[in-house]
Amino acid sequence: MLDTRVDEFAVETHGLTKRFSDEIVAVNDLDLRVKRGEIFGFLGPNGAGKTTTLRMLVGLIAPTSGSAVVAGYAPGDRRGLARLGAMIEAPAFYPYMSGQQNLAVLAKYAGVSFDRIQTTLAQVGLEARGNHKVGTYSTGMKQRLGVAAALLKNPELLILDEPANGLDPQGMVEMRELLRGLGDAGHTVLISSHLLAELEHICDRVGIIRSGRLIALGTLAELRGGSRSLLIQAQPQERALLLLTALLGPNSVHKSEDGQLLVTAPQSRTGEISRALVQAGLELTELRPVERSLEQTFLELTTSEGRAA
């Protein structure tokens, strides 16, 4: 029967928790929503709870409490799994069989036509080594095969755990292009990583997890904090500092080490600030928004008490 379920979210969790013991809470009260058709980055340092979360989403482990809906169904439901492909942690295959044979076994389990095998091997650039034994593959090749296995069902939702691990720079670029292409083709991609650079160029939204808790969620621009910082160069600088402090408050104006003024203010006040400086007879030589790098944001969030975006 044709499944006509259409939900806004490909993944939705409510209070998802996994407790391994009284001391070890791997995932704590996680509320996560991944919209259909987006590429969602699930970011966090090692041991933050990313893989445990993904294992719960595909039904490999049962949550201690909370609930999740994945591809329209509870994790582990056959109808949901039929619509998702996943690679969790390091890809694992039968070393005595070739990549092609491994995919054939998985295609048989999934009830997928063997025709898909060559297509997916080509998608990940492994067609030339497909008939070689997996035991002879490099880490990067196993990673590609893992992604090929996840693509076998041509799923509407892809869950990939650190897919760029072990890839060389060229391989990382190709992986990014592949994922971007999947996103453009309408697939939902949930991709986890502890490497910001891996996600920065491909994700529509990012969630940051630390110690099992989601500490930030939003678009990359939102996570960078928008353009709330302004860099100002005006002469004489001491008069500019006094004027801006009077205008915006003492906590909003800082002098950087290289002598520039950094002002915390919404971009909407840029005109007001520039007018005030010029009308006071100051020579305004530079006024521009300063974006925090995502790297900076990530480090701030994951090394100090996080904020919920």
Minimum separation from the CB atom of position 59 to other proteins (A): 6
What does the per-residue mask of binding to other proteins show for 124-163, with x meaning CB under 8 A?
-------------------------xx-xx----------
Minimum separation from the CB atom of position 308 to other proteins (A): 28
Q: According to the binding rule CB under 8 A, does residue 91 interact with other proteins?
A: yes
First-to-final CA distance of the chain = 41
- Closer CB to other proteins, 18 or 224, in the complex: 18
Burial (Cβ within 10 Å: 0-12, 13-18, ≥19) of residue 251: exposed
Q: According to the binding rule CB under 8 A, does residue 203 interact with other proteins?
A: no
Alpha-carbon distance 289 to 293, whole Å? 12
178, 198 contact by CB (below 8 A): no
Q: Which of 111, 169, 186, 250 binds other proteins (CB under 8 A)?
A: 111
The Cβ of residue 259 has, within 10 Å, a number of other Cβ atoms equal to 8
Q: According to the binding rule CB under 8 A, does residue 240 interact with other proteins?
A: no
What does the per-residue mask of binding to other proteins show for 44-73, with x meaning CB under 8 A?
-----------x--xxxxx-----------
Smallest CA-to-CA distance from 48 within 21, 27, 29, 20 is with 27
Q: According to the binding rule CB under 8 A, does residue 290 interact with other proteins?
A: no
Q: Mapping DSSP to helix (H, G, I), strand (E, B) and coil, where does residue 82 land?
A: coil
User: Which residues here bind other proteins, judged by CB under 8 A?
Assistant: 55, 58-62, 76-78, 80-81, 85-97, 101, 104-106, 108-111, 149-150, 152-153
